[in-house]
Amino acid sequence: MTFELSHYNAALLFALCASTVFGITQRNTPKDMFRYGAYCFVLFAVGVIVASWAMWAIKH
């Protein structure tokens, strides 16, 4: 059983699952849960891109 993912897709899957749990556990109402989950997902996804460019800039 092997599972092939690119690094970015792996990061996005991680972000999706973690955001789902954060949204459900950290807020009370379904609307707030969805908003917070989406907020966390965007932060994860943008954070990965920013960190990637930062590492590229450090290397060059």
Partner 1 sequence: MANPQSTAKASPRAADATLTPTGISPVTVTLAGWLVPGLGHILQGRFIRGILLMLAVFTMFFAGLGMQGKVYSFNTGDLLDILGFVGDFGAGLLYFIARWMDWGAGNIHRAVADYGTKYIVVAGLLNVIAAIDAHHIAIGKKQ
Residues in contact with partner 1 by the rule CB under 8 A: 1-5, 7, 10, 13-14, 16-18, 20-22, 24-25, 28-29
| Identity of residue 14 | F
Measured from the CB of residue 18, what is the shortest distance to partner 1 in angstroms?
Answer: 6
Entry field: residues in the chain: 60
Measured from the CB of residue 31, what is the shortest distance to partner 1 in angstroms?
Answer: 12
Measured from the CB of residue 49, what is the shortest distance to partner 1 in angstroms?
Answer: 17
- Which two tokens mark 21? 């749990």
Q: Taking a C-beta distance cutoff of 8 angstroms, is the pair 23, 33 a contact?
A: yes
